[in-house]
Structure 1
Amino acid sequence: MTYSIIAKCSETGQYGVGIQSHFYAAGNACWANAGVGAVVTQAMALIDHGPLGLKLMAEGKSASEALSERLALDPDSEIRQVAMIDSKGRVAAHTGSVTIPAAGHVMGEGFSCQANLMWNDTVPQEMADAFENSKGDLADRLLTALFAGQNAGGDIRGMQSGRILVVDSKIMDKEWEGILVDVNVDDHSDPLKEIERLLKVNSIYTDFTKNGYELELDNSQAEEYPEIAFWTGINLANNGDLENGKELTGIALKSHSGWRELLIRCSENNFFGITEELVQQLLNNEQ
């Protein structure tokens, strides 16, 4: 079974797609463009419905109009499932009459949940209920819905891959700049747990880059994320906090020999404000 959800956040205007399937790289079925909407195409998926459905919505078609137009061009539409959401949060969904059962979809205000090859037909409703009752970031809410789908029975074949894709509410000149979250697990024994882990990593790195490559970390976090510890330490040292800077870079230096070499190479061109003097000060932290 593939089960999925498309949704728009009523607070941020962000759009998102979440999917899980016992099939390699199910994330290829997810499509979303900032300020336009999102599409998911599954059940003997015709990938064309994703990018071309988005194109129609970008041209001003509603989700319903775009879906109808795409299905009219698909001679095998009755074996497929497709759902779309447009910039106004309007949703449209299709479950073909010969999609492998149990199959169905549930639409609500600003979202649609769909599934096929289910152990039972309660999966879409369980997902819908979980999404409506959830709070937090859209990515987390999408994952909550996916967990609900799995807990309701999930794929009769098991689990293999999944994806969470979230885009911004505004159209971007450069489409890729509108991607806020894209966590994709192509092959894993428990893709939802792996997505959950990666969403946490994604959140930490997002905060790190937004904050100018600096993030407050405790020692356990610094050991888990030596990359962040290293650059945060450099930033602190460059801004006069040599003691804490040495502590954080020291954690990175102890984790892998390559960090010491990177520090030296950066000093050759004063990259990131790393001078030979700073290198000597930081290396004095090594035991």
Structure 2
Amino acid sequence: MKRYLIFLFSLVSLSVNGQVFKSSEPLAHTFSIVARDSETGEMAVGVQSHWFSVGTAVSWAKAGVGAIATQSFTNISFGPRGLELLEEGKTAQQTLDILLSDDDGRDFRQVAIVDANGNVAVHTGVKCISEAGMRTGEGYSVQANMMLTDEVWDAMAEDFEKSKGMPLAERVVSALKAAQKAGGDIRGKQSAALLVVSGDKNVKPWEDPQIDLRVDDAEEPLVELDRLLRVYRAYEHMSAGDLALEVNDMDKALSEYGAAQKMFPDNLEMKYWTAVALANNGDLEKALPMFREVFKGDKNWKELTRRLPASGLLQVGEDQLKAILKQ
């Protein structure tokens, strides 16, 4: 397969003015979706491919600006250049037209753009490897090339439209799963990525992307991407619990830590901070068995417990602390 791709790469390079493709342009034959949530304004790119680290090449997005997927014989510059054009005020279609206008390799490209207003634009070059196609809907575009069947992009679109009401990230991952179920990449699967940004252009740079998950090399990249998204959601609860703990809102902390632990009951960190919140809330009876399970799993948590009172995060008396450390 590797020799075949190298040969194919060389053949195409020679066939289009001799200088179109560079070794730095990955052959990211793949399926992807770009989408905007009309309620929240969030924008996302989701992608899977039989190519290493597809998320580093295909998916691009910026808060309050837009989202771009650039694939097939990938022109990576379309990502940052496209976002610059969108930020200047160009629409998705105007941006796409400009990007393709001076690209000698346009016939081999596949590009999709959604802007902050929900406008979409997509291009599938006539020389993209079949099965290749695309479908657009309100605020989204799905596209694929080198697929096993010609049902992939329709499967993605139909799944995305049926999942209205779910968070955008979950809708995108669900659409990718539908694409794989419909046949996916003819070569198989290797990597996947999910990128979600805010619809607010004024969001603080360190608060965006909201979600940036990549599975660079795995036998079942979408299974792993789905797991990572669930872990991300659980740690959203953990972060909210931490904030509540800092301001001594133990009821809120317990609620958030409990929600996280319910999602991943075997996670020691989630169990530990739930136990801390219980202890701080005066419910040592419930906290002690949880501390015991955590300490049994990893003794370093016991050492951490010794250090917490000095920071004010564990608010128990000396006798209570001794009881905890005996577990």
- Does the TM-score normalized on the shorter chain lie above 0.5? yes
Cα pair distance change 1:107/1:241, threshold 3 Å: same
- Tell me, yes or no, if structure 1 residue 203 matches structure 2 residue 245: no
The correspondence for 1:125, drawn from 146, 150, 154, is 154
2:224 aligned residue: 194
Structure-to-structure mapping, 1:57-206, within 5 angstroms: 57-135=86-164, 136-206=166-236
Which SS does the other structure have where 2:34 is aligned? strand
Which SS does the other structure have where 1:216 is aligned? helix
Which SS does the other structure have where 2:214 is aligned? strand
What is the letter of the counterpart of residue 196 of structure 2? V
How far did 1:276 drift? 7.9
What is the letter of the counterpart of residue 22 of structure 1? H
2:51 aligned residue: 23
How far did 1:223 drift? 4.5
Query: Residues 222 and 248 of structure 1 are in contact (CA less than 8 Å); yes or no, is this contact kept in structure 2?
Result: no
How far did 1:239 drift? 3.0
Which SS does the other structure have where 1:224 is aligned? coil
What is the letter of the counterpart of residue 167 of structure 2? D
What is the letter of the counterpart of residue 36 of structure 1? V
Instruction: Compute the RMSD of aligned alpha carbons.
Output: 2.1
- Tell me, yes or no, if structure 1 residue 250 matches structure 2 residue 278: no
- Tell me, yes or no, if structure 1 residue 7 matches structure 2 residue 35: yes
| 171-180 or 200-209, larger mean C-alpha shift | 171-180
How far did 1:172 drift? 3.5
Which SS does the other structure have where 1:212 is aligned? helix
Query: Residues 134 and 144 of structure 2 are in contact (CA less than 8 Å); yes or no, is this contact kept in structure 1?
Result: yes
Which digits, 9 at most, give the CA deviation of each residue in 1:214-240, with x for residues without a partner?
A: 411598766521111112222232232
Distance 1:137 1:164 in 2: 13
How far did 1:274 drift? 5.9
Cα pair distance change 1:8/1:220, threshold 3 Å: closer
Which SS does the other structure have where 1:4 is aligned? strand
| 214-223 or 131-140, larger mean C-alpha shift | 214-223
Aligned length: 284
- Tell me, yes or no, if structure 1 residue 228 matches structure 2 residue 270: yes
Cα pair distance change 1:145/1:220, threshold 3 Å: closer
How far did 1:81 drift? 0.8
Query: Residues 93 and 121 of structure 2 are in contact (CA less than 8 Å); yes or no, is this contact kept in structure 1?
Result: yes
How far did 1:50 drift? 1.0
Unaligned ranges ≥5, structure 1: none
Higher RCO structure, 1 or 2 (CA under 8 Å, sep 6+)? 1
2:67 aligned residue: 38
**Which of these two proteins has the greater Rg computed from alpha carbons?**
2
Distance 1:218 1:76 in 2: 48
| 11-20 or 242-251, larger mean C-alpha shift | 242-251
Cα pair distance change 1:205/1:116, threshold 3 Å: same
| 41-50 or 208-217, larger mean C-alpha shift | 208-217
Distance 2:196 2:209 in 1: 6
1:47 aligned residue: 76
Which digits, 9 at most, give the CA deviation of each residue in 1:122-169, with x for residues without a partner?
A: 211111111111131111111111111111111111010101111122
1:280 aligned residue: 322
TM-score, length-normalised on structure 1? 0.91
Unaligned ranges ≥5, structure 2: 1-28, 244-252
Distance 2:312 2:74 in 1: 47
Query: Residues 172 and 178 of structure 1 are in contact (CA less than 8 Å); yes or no, is this contact kept in structure 2?
Result: no
Query: Residues 71 and 110 of structure 2 are in contact (CA less than 8 Å); yes or no, is this contact kept in structure 1?
Result: yes
TM-score, length-normalised on structure 2? 0.81
Which SS does the other structure have where 2:121 is aligned? strand
Query: Residues 170 and 178 of structure 1 are in contact (CA less than 8 Å); yes or no, is this contact kept in structure 2?
Result: no
Which SS does the other structure have where 1:43 is aligned? strand
What is the letter of the counterpart of residue 205 of structure 1? Y
Q: Percent identity?
A: 42
2:85 aligned residue: 56
2:4 aligned residue: none
Distance 2:260 2:74 in 1: 45
Distance 2:97 2:275 in 1: 55
How far did 1:27 drift? 1.0
How far did 1:9 drift? 1.1
What is the letter of the counterpart of residue 155 of structure 1? D
